[in-house]
Amino acid sequence: MALRDTHVTLAHGGGGRAMRDLIDEVFTAVFQPPGTEDQARLMTAALQEPGARLAFTTDSFVVTPLEFPGGDIGTLAVCGTVNDLAVGGARPLWLSAAFIIEEGCEIALLRRIVASMAAEAAKAGVRIVTGDTKVVERGKADRVFITTAGVGVIPAGVELGVAQIRPGDAVIVNGVLGDHGAAILAARGDLALSVDLASDCAGLGHLMQAALAAAPGLHAARDCTRGGLASALNEMAAEAGVAVEIDETRLPLRPEVVGVCEILGLDPLYLANEGRLVLFCPEDQAPGLLAALRSLPEGAGAVQIGRALPGPAGRVTLRTAFGGARIVDMLVGEQLPRIC
Amino acid sequence: MSAGQFIRVRGQVQGVGFRPFVWQLAREMGLTGRVWNDPGGVGIEVWGEDIDAFAAALRARAPLLARVDAVEAGPLDGPAPPGFAILESRGQGAETRVTPDAATCPDCAAEIRSPGRRQGYAFTNCTHCGPRFSILRCLPYDRAQTTMAAFPMCPDCRADYENPADRRFHAQPVACPACGPRLWYEVAGDKKPGDPVAQAVAELRRGGVVAVKGLGGFHLACDAANPQALALLRARKHRPAKPFALMAAEAALHGIAALTPADLALLRDPAAPVVLVASRAVLPDAVAPGMACLGVMLPYTPLHHLLLHAFGGVLVMTSGNLSGEPQVVGNAEARDKLAAFADGFLMHDRDIARRLDDSVERAAPPMVLRRARGRVPGVLPLPPGFPDRQVLATGGQMKGAICLVKNGQALLGHHLGDLTDALSVDEFHKALVDYAALFDHRPTLAACDLHPDFVATRAAQATGLPLVRVQHHHAHLAACLGENLWPLEGGPVAGIVLDGLGLGPDGTVWGGELLLGDYTGFDRAAHLRPAALPGGDAASRQPWRNAVMRLDQAGLAPLADRLFAGQPVAALRAMAAGGVNAPLSSSAGRLFDAVAACLGLAAAAQSHEGEAAMRLEALAGPPGQGYPFGPGLDPAPMFRALAQDLADGVPPATISARFHDGLAAAFAAPARDLVAQGRAWAVALSGGCLQNARLHHALLAALDGVPVLTHRTTPANDGGLAFGQALVALAQGAG
Ligand SMILES: [Fe+3]
Ligand SMILES: [Mg+2]
Ligand SMILES: [Zn+2]
Ligand SMILES: [Zn+2]
């Protein structure tokens, strides 16, 4: 073991021996990239099938706290990018990972994060094939930031996109909403919230493959991350030129999440998720799709929450328990008070 | 030989029987000439003796629904015609005005009780009363453009309509049983044979709920004296505590409320608003739990007259809607949505073209809490000095109302409800199109609130017009100035704006403000010491949250722990300390909530907007020495005095009174100073808290001797916001 330090210093970013040791021991040894060159060299057989398309995406991850019940920033960095690929209908293949590390970050923490990434990548069937590290002075970052990019392949015949959405489509989610956002808030020890909640963080590649197999007519899918289900539905409704109505009584919400939201005054529809997606499919394929989703652990809580309507284009409403319909808007920023 | 004169009459003079009035006046005074409508109002050419007396009478004896703003006369050449004629309208854009709906006039009310062809007829009306705006599909205001188009006049009605001596001359909705709309009673979709009113009354007497199709929407009616009926309606509507509006004949009203002459005058106004009056506490408390006031109105349609006459007592007349949604207007919609609420439907086949809630007002101090049926589309003159430019202002969120400015007048649209509800948002978008068409409006400037997530803000942005974003409380101040015709160059005033919440330009949430300024701009001269609003809107729904923050601020954390032991107080404090969804706010509304919560009023949650503050107001005893506020309008000393009173067992009525008087004194003092120093010319009072009559009176008393401007015909709450936004935009956009 060449790496003796317990904390990252500026020397670990200096390009010399310390950096080499950190990369070799903390990152490369775990991710096991195939070559020694500065770039990954990848077999493209999957891409050569007629009609197949390359999918390519990138995402950056910052989260406080870095470790929380149900995962850590490493889990997010893999799942987030895998899910971006998956909801487009792609089979995720390869990832890159770049780390911005704050001087003073504990190396043990880095090891735990990297282990999470490796485990999550293995589950998702993707390989982390290239990476980078930079060390910045104390105060210039919050311990560690991660950027991942991902490449996958969309097989011939898979045509997912919001443009496919039609009025009448069933709107389906794969499980309870808001667990991630609520768990993160609860994990901030300063809020004095004692609830037993874990992040929903999960890779959804396999689930999407199962969905496509069961419902070939699937129109569109999107992961509900920052901004929650509300923001995902608003984007999709606007882009598709349809309205979406969801039913309050059908929303899958854990009582703990409802409780945290009540105290904090937050709307669970806007809470972040990291293992949740929303799917639009023709109504007649909804039962098959739901069955397929429920056959996998990450879709066990799948449920139809509403449907697409002809218009007004871009409007998302929540049908409440008493029968009224409330506008679920895309917010400009945070949830600001609106009651005068 | 006498010379002719041309007389121009401006104001609300079309569609109110003005031409037949002129015709009759001219004949009475032996004058000849002609009268017509045109885009300027009413034009008259008149020849004969003593035309001055004629012109004076135009103003003095104008019809009930007319409002004469100006009578201008000038010489006229040409020979006198033989008689006096009523001419067709002249010029494009004639009949540009439609007047608000008006309550059944005394003549029509008497007619339906007397033998004749309109005896017992529920759709009787004349030039002096009846539906107007609520049946109008588009201008010009002719029967063909109203929902009366479906009912061709019978020869008798046509004769009335064409006879200048008849009070139905050119009354567009004129009707009788032979040709007009029909009334029926139905249960579960089945029309019941027999007298519809008698069947409805039987159901009401049994303690049931009847949906009644009114002028601007459906009401749900039940016997206001029957506790079981009230409980049933509250349970079905999921409305545990929000006061119900009541309707009764004047004689019956005296039994349940202590009516002042001012109350009576307002009740009898053709607008027939719901008037807040002092309760005699003889009806069950469930009518308006915890309130010292009742919201009452007189029957305002012939159907109401027939129903109340047959019923004899006092009816609840609450809007027929799903919780949070706008009032139902269509028959099919009513059957669909109100089936779960109503045991029977008193319906008719005249469509409602425009949904209009009942207006809600108070006689003393005069104020409008909700501006809708009977008041809209009345226009407000612009104060002197404003440029002639067409402006659209989109208003606020919880009490949607838009404002259009054109030709030196502002049209403040009707109450559209809470714009978080999808149907209310539909109404809002419809109103934008509808008013623009009705008033041939082509704005070159738009105005909205600073809040980025208001539906109204987005709508203003979507117009693509140059946009002025107006701070919420600046708009409240400007609305008050505008209503009082404060000139554009009138100089700065001190604006006491006591309100719920509005976003400030500094990103915090404002609401207890002393603004020094005018239409063009303002300084934040003083404001309540801010406290955290933990949970954002949750703090507006749960008064205890505000109490904890204010008590903590006053060093009274142990009291907060004791009063709110069942609540997650620790989490709340952590949110405030950690800045998690806990914006700072100087809201006066939330200060009311905090005090109410300390007294146990709706502390855990309000079942409707303003419940805690309304109950606190209802409780307040007579005026006296108020609680002290610290420098910087700090309520901490007030809470320390309040805590001492609680410990000493001082009655809640005294505590409430001391709070109201203390708050009024705290804001009045710096406002008086601004006037004394010559920095402000007057004090303006605005914001939602000014609906509180107790606070309103306390402020007026504390400002004795200083010129004070108040809202009287526009709402001090967000229902008046768009008017202020439009004026600010006009003032700023002019530069
Ligand atoms: Fe306001
Ligand atoms: Mg992403
Ligand atoms: Zn009449
Ligand atoms: Zn007739």
Does one domain contain both B328 and B252? yes
B5: which strand partners? B46, B75
Does one domain contain both B554 and B686? yes
Evaluate whether residue B448 is within a structural domain: yes
Q: Do A336 and B503 touch (CB under 8 A)?
A: yes
Last-in-domain residue among B410, B442, B475: B475
3-state SS of B175-244 is CCCCCCCCEEEEECCEEECCCHHHHHHHHHHCCCCEEEECCCCEEEEEECCCHHHHHHHHHHHCCCCCCC
> Would you state the pLDDT for residue A37?
60
| CATH code at position B604 | 3.30.420.40
Confidence of residue A85 (pLDDT cuts 50, 70, 90): very high
Q: Under a CB-based contact definition with an 8 Å cutoff, are residues B315 and B222 in contact?
A: yes
**Closest residue by Cα to residue B269 from B250, B251, B288:** B250
Q: Do B322 and A323 touch (CB under 8 A)?
A: yes
| CATH code at position B435 | 3.30.420.360
Ligand 4 center–CA B152 separation, angstroms: 8
DSSP string, B39-52: TTEEEEEEESS-HH
| Cβ-count burial B179-194 (b if 16+ within 10 Å, e if not) | bbbebebbeeeeeeee
**CATH class of the region A10-37+49-154:** alpha beta
Confidence of residue A272 (pLDDT cuts 50, 70, 90): very high
Angle of CA points B693, B695, B701, to nearest 5°: 100
| CATH code at position B70 | 3.30.70.100
| Nearest chain A Cα distance for residue B636, angstroms | 23
Tally Cβ neighbours within 10 Å of residue B317: 27
State yes or no: pLDDT of A264 exceeds 70.
yes
Cα(B734)–Cα(B387) distance, integer angstroms: 7
Evaluate whether residue B142 is within a structural domain: no
For residue B369, give the 3-state DSSP assignment: strand
> Would you state the pLDDT for residue B2?
62
Phi, psi of B502 (to 5 degrees): -155, 145
Ligand 1 center–CA B368 separation, angstroms: 14
Tally Cβ neighbours within 10 Å of residue B622: 9
From chain B residues 534-553, the ones with a CB under 8 A of any chain A CB are 534-541
Whole-complex ipTM = 0.89
Q: What is the mean pLDDT of residues A183-198?
A: 83
Last-in-domain residue among B36, B55, B86: B86
Cα(B356)–Cα(B336) distance, integer angstroms: 20
Phi, psi of B218 (to 5 degrees): -85, 145
Evaluate whether residue B56 is within a structural domain: yes
Does one domain contain both B583 and B610? yes
Best residue of B237, B239, B425 to probe chain A, by most A CBs closer than 10 Å: B425
Evaluate whether residue B65 is within a structural domain: yes
Q: Do B572 and A266 touch (CB under 8 A)?
A: no
> Would you state the pLDDT for residue B96?
56
Q: Is B450 on the interface with A (CB under 8 A)?
A: no
Q: Do B453 and A336 touch (CB under 8 A)?
A: yes
> Mean pLDDT per 10-residue run, chain B (735 residues)?
84 86 93 88 91 93 89 90 86 66 96 96 96 89 90 96 90 95 96 96 98 96 98 94 97 96 97 97 96 96 98 96 88 94 97 96 96 94 94 96 94 95 94 92 96 95 96 98 97 97 94 98 97 95 98 98 95 92 96 98 93 96 97 98 98 98 98 97 98 97 97 97 98 74
Does one domain contain both B594 and B644? yes
Q: Is B475 on the interface with A (CB under 8 A)?
A: no
| CATH code at position B235 | 3.90.870.30
Q: How far apart are the first and last CA of chain A?
A: 63
Evaluate whether residue B294 is within a structural domain: yes
| Nearest chain B Cα distance for residue A325, angstroms | 5
Range name among A34-43, A141-150, B337-346, B580-589 with the lowest pLDDT average: A34-43
Q: Do A326 and B324 touch (CB under 8 A)?
A: yes
Does one domain contain both B198 and B312? yes
**Closest residue by Cα to residue B617 from B662, B665, B653:** B653
State yes or no: pLDDT of A277 exceeds 90.
yes
Cα(B297)–Cα(A74) distance, integer angstroms: 66
Tally Cβ neighbours within 10 Å of residue B432: 21
Q: Which CATH number among 3.40.50.300, 3.40.50.800, 3.90.650.10, 3.40.50.1820 corresponds to the domain A162-327?
A: 3.90.650.10
Confidence of residue A2 (pLDDT cuts 50, 70, 90): low
Ranges of CATH 3.90.650.10 domains, chain A: 162-327
Evaluate whether residue B508 is within a structural domain: no
Q: What is the mean pLDDT of residues A61-88?
A: 95
Query: Alpha carbon of A277 to those of A231, A240, A272, A309: distances in Å?
Result: 12, 17, 11, 20
Does one domain contain both B285 and B193? yes
Q: Is A313 on the interface with B (CB under 8 A)?
A: no
Chain A residues close to B534, C-beta within 8 Å: 265
Chain A residues close to B718, C-beta within 8 Å: 340
**In chain A, beta strands by DSSP E:** 53-61, 67-68, 71-72, 91-102, 127-136, 144-154, 170-173, 220-223, 243-247, 277-281, 303-309, 316-319, 325-327
Evaluate whether residue B512 is within a structural domain: no
Phi, psi of B439 (to 5 degrees): -110, 15
Evaluate whether residue B714 is within a structural domain: no
The whole-model pTM stands at 0.93
The domain containing residue B438 runs over which residues?
A: 377-475
Contacts of A32 (CB under 8 A, 6+ apart): none
What are the CB-based long-range contacts (under 8 Å, 24+) for B401-404? B401/B371, B401/B715, B401/B718, B401/B719, B401/B720, B401/B721, B401/B722, B402/B428, B402/B431, B402/B432, B402/B435, B402/B456, B402/B722, B403/B722, B403/B723, B403/B725, B403/B726, B404/B435, B404/B436, B404/B439, B404/B441, B404/B443, B404/B726
Q: Do A322 and B322 touch (CB under 8 A)?
A: yes
Ligand 2 center–CA A114 separation, angstroms: 20
Q: Which residue of B has its CA nearest to A321?
A: B323
Cα(A261)–Cα(B487) distance, integer angstroms: 48
From chain B residues 670-699, the ones with a CB under 8 A of any chain A CB are 688
What letter represents residue B462's amino acid? Answer: A
Phi, psi of B90 (to 5 degrees): -115, 140
Chain B residues close to A238, C-beta within 8 Å: none
3-state SS of B687-726 is CHHHHCHHHHHHHHHHCCCCCEECCCCCCCCHHHHHHHHH
How many domains does the structure of chain B reveal? 4
What letter represents residue A42's amino acid? Answer: L
Ranges of CATH 3.30.1330.10 domains, chain A: 10-37+49-154
Confidence of residue A36 (pLDDT cuts 50, 70, 90): low
Contacts of B256 (CB under 8 A, 6+ apart): B224, B246, B248, B279, B280, B282, B283, B294, B296, B314
Does one domain contain both B393 and B349? no
For residue B153, give the 3-state DSSP assignment: coil
Does one domain contain both B637 and B666? yes
- Residue B133 DSSP one-character state: G
Cα(A261)–Cα(A270) distance, integer angstroms: 10
Last-in-domain residue among B26, B52, B86: B86
Does one domain contain both B323 and B393? no
Chain B residues close to A334, C-beta within 8 Å: 581
Burial class (CB in 10 A: 0-12, 13-18, 19+), B28: exposed
